[in-house]
Amino acid sequence: MGERSSYAPGTFCWAELSTTDQPAAKAFYSGLFGWEVEDLPLDAGGVYSMARIGGKDVAAIAAQPQQQREAGVPALWNSYISVENADACAERAKELGASVHAPAFDVMQAGRMAVIQDPQGAYFMPWQAGEQHGAALVNAPGALVWNELASPDLDASSAFYSELFGWTIAPIPDMTPTYLAIRNGEASNGGIREATPPGTPPHWLVYLGTEEIDSGMAKARELGGSILAGPVDIGMAKFAVTQDPQGAVFALYAGRLDP
């Protein structure tokens, strides 16, 4: 497991569920991962449900914004990427062909963020830390372990994110279908694969750790979730693409973890 007190710019640092039923989602994920959840009041009303393991922040559950509900957007997991300056990141992303759906704004004293849709259609959030740097625990059961982009154009996605964050992106040798490994400096920082089947909307998939894949899948089903794919054995680990009862998709991962 890895405890974190800061993140280098360009590193995935936080995962947040935007859901249509916050109480039901809290029950599902607490049952699946043993999360301790604290509801923190928001200035605009409602609560931000902070999920913890052993007192360490690992993720959050938030009510889906009303405009997304009205637009029929499904429940989903959001991926946050640490940046030095959220305003500058949003401006540069726009120059590179992305759409800025929410210009940089303050999240109370926690930090500053924006909502960006990359040129191929996947959403992500740049995060400029204030009092909150991101997850205090990663690469552990119940915590964020990986982020993976499903893209219809691997070359275009590689070019965009390399320019925006300085990532090094290269194919893993002898892997079929092609899988691109992302490195942020010397650190592993996720992957990119082709969006399949054809027509799958581009998206960042959040992987959350579990002790053992079969028992994790069984628990997810018991709590009302479903398994969309897997288990898939990749040698160093097994994973399963999973959907919670409200429709948000994530992956369960059991296997080797970086410190």
- Please state the three-class secondary structure of 199-243 as a single string: CCCCEEEEEEECCCHHHHHHHHHHCCCEEEEEEEECCCEEEEEEE
| Model pLDDT, residue 259 | 75
Q: Retrieve residue 109's tokens.
A: 């004293």
Chosen domain end from 108, 129, 150: 129
**Domain match, 234 and 177 both:** yes
**Domain match, 88 and 14 both:** yes
Beta pairing class for 99-107 and 47-53: unpaired
The per-residue pLDDT for range 112-132, each reduced to its tens digit, is 999 999 999 999 999 999 999
Task: State the residue range of the domain holding 221.
Answer: 140-255
**Terminal CA-CA length for the chain:** 5
**Domain match, 42 and 123 both:** yes
Beta-sheet strands, E only, within the chain: 2-3, 12-19, 36-41, 47-53, 56-63, 76-82, 99-107, 111-117, 123-129, 137-138, 144-151, 168-171, 179-184, 187-194, 203-209, 226-233, 237-243, 249-255
Residue 135 lies in a domain: no
Beta pairing class for 56-63 and 12-19: parallel
Give me the helices (H) in 34-126, please. 66-70, 86-95
CATH code for position 118: 3.10.180.10
Total number of domains constituting the chain: 2
| Model pLDDT, residue 103 | 93
Residue 90 lies in a domain: yes
User: CA 54 to CA 73: how far, in whole Å?
Assistant: 33
User: CA 68 to CA 71: how far, in whole Å?
Assistant: 5
The per-residue pLDDT for range 127-137, each reduced to its tens digit, is 999 999 999 99
Chosen domain end from 75, 105, 129: 129
Which class for 163: exposed (0-12), middle (13-18), buried (19 or more C-beta within 10 A)?
A: middle
**Domain match, 95 and 151 both:** no
Residue 134 lies in a domain: no
User: CA 184 to CA 172: how far, in whole Å?
Assistant: 16
Q: What percent of the chain lies above the pLDDT cut of 70?
A: 100
| Model pLDDT, residue 73 | 77
| Model pLDDT, residue 44 | 75
**Domain match, 49 and 149 both:** no
Residue 208 clears pLDDT 70, i.e. is over it: yes
Residue 232 lies in a domain: yes
**Domain match, 181 and 246 both:** yes
Query: Which of 74-83, 169-178, 227-236 has the highest mean predicted lDDT (pLDDT)?
Result: 74-83
The per-residue pLDDT for range 28-44, each reduced to its tens digit, is 999 999 999 999 988 77
Average pLDDT, the chain: 93
**Domain match, 11 and 124 both:** yes
Q: Retrieve residue 94's tokens.
A: 């726009």
Residue 215 lies in a domain: yes
Chosen domain end from 129, 157, 174: 129
| Model pLDDT, residue 107 | 87
**Domain match, 28 and 120 both:** yes
| Model pLDDT, residue 108 | 85
Residue 173 lies in a domain: yes
**Domain match, 195 and 122 both:** no
| Model pLDDT, residue 1 | 56
- Hey, which residues does 56 pair with through a beta bridge? 53
**Domain match, 161 and 85 both:** no
Q: Report the range of poorest mean pLDDT among 4-8, 152-156, 195-199.
A: 195-199
Residue 230 lies in a domain: yes
Q: Report the range of poorest mean pLDDT among 18-27, 51-60, 198-207.
A: 198-207
**Domain match, 74 and 98 both:** yes
Do residues 187 and 11 touch, judged by C-beta distance below 8 A?
yes
**Domain match, 9 and 122 both:** yes
Do residues 137 and 1 touch, judged by C-beta distance below 8 A?
yes
Residue 93 lies in a domain: yes
Rounded to 5°, the CA angle 78-189-63 comes to 10
User: CA 244 to CA 229: how far, in whole Å?
Assistant: 13
